[in-house]
Chains A and B, each alone.
Chain A
Amino acid sequence: GESVGLHLPTLSVQEGDNSIINCAYSNSASDYFIWYKQESGKGPQFIIDIRSNMDKRQGQRVTVLLNKTVKHLSLQIAATQPGDSAVYFCAENSGGSNYKLTFGKGTLLTVNP
């Protein structure tokens, strides 16, 4: 079936560097995407979202890019900090009246001081 996947399972960066986390999705009907951060033993924390009628959205230190042509989503974190270390998931609204979210596999981001 259709699913959301990630290219990189782990990413290690130095403090202060920019991080880019990628996600591939396959459901062309998805119209809403969210990036979540999950720390160990906790629930997902909303980072940023984007609708399918946009290709870029910026937040505080984070930017999400959406390329519908190749069904690709990315999360850019500027000036990565040790507190950014966590697992990051992309999720897509897979359509339907229930607004179901399908999660990608996740990328473990480790920020080295």
Chain B
Amino acid sequence: GAVVSQHPSWVICKSGTSVKIECRSLDFQATTMFWYRQFPKQSLMLMATSNEGSKATYEQGVEKDKFLINHASLTLSTLTVTSAHPEDSSFYICSANQGDYGYTFGSGTRLTVV
């Protein structure tokens, strides 16, 4: 079946630094990739939608200059949290879509900003 690899699975960084999270579709081409953020005991909140070769579409309230998304190929999308602060600590999850109703989720990245 379709597999999405997300790395790193966890990361601890100092406040003010940037962190990059990678999301790769291993055996299929992802037309669209979605990035979600999940706080403890809460649901997944969509941050942005990215299509290969074009700019990401951000959800209302998500700072595009803080959460940089790059979708340079059909198998790789990256999320960079710039100038991270403790309030950015969260569980980030990517999902890849093949242009239909099939969604494959990554295993998530636990970001802790200290």
Q: How large is the interface on B (under 10, 10 to 19, 20 to 34, 35 or more residues)?
A: 20 to 34
**Interchain CB contact under 8 A, B105 and A100:** no
A89: which B residues are within 8 A, CB to CB? 43-44
Q: Tell me the minimal C-beta distance from B8 to chain A in angstroms.
A: 13
**In residues 49-94 of chain A, which contact B (Cβ within 8 Å)?**
49, 51, 89, 93
Decide yes or no: A93 and B101 within 8 Å by CB, A42-B107, A43-B106, A106-B43 being known contacts.
Answer: yes
Q: Tell me the minimal C-beta distance from B45 to chain A in angstroms.
A: 8
Interface-lining segment among B62-70, B74-82, B92-100: B92-100
B46 at the A interface (CB under 8 A) = yes
**Interchain CB contact under 8 A, B106 and A104:** no
Q: Which residue of A is nearest B4, CB measured?
A: A43
Chain A residues with a Cβ closer than 8 Å to the other chain, count: 21
A46: which B residues are within 8 A, CB to CB? 103
**Interchain CB contact under 8 A, A98 and B44:** no
A49: which B residues are within 8 A, CB to CB? 101
Q: Which residue of A is nearest B32, CB measured?
A: A98
**Interchain CB contact under 8 A, A100 and B49:** yes
B57 at the A interface (CB under 8 A) = yes
**Interchain CB contact under 8 A, B103 and A101:** yes
**Interchain CB contact under 8 A, A100 and B46:** yes
B7: which A residues are within 8 A, CB to CB? none
Contact of A42 among B32, B57, B100, B108 (CB under 8 A): B108
B85 at the A interface (CB under 8 A) = no
Contact of B43 among A43, A93, A100, A105 (CB under 8 A): A105
- The 22 sampled A-B contact pairs (Cβ below 8 Å) are A32-B101, A41-B108, A41-B110, A43-B6, A43-B106, A45-B105, A46-B103, A89-B44, A98-B51, A98-B97, A99-B32, A99-B97, A99-B103, A100-B34, A101-B34, A101-B46, A101-B95, A103-B44, A104-B43, A105-B42, A105-B43, A106-B42
Chain A interface residues (CB < 8 Å from chain B): 32, 34, 41-46, 49, 51, 89, 93, 98-106
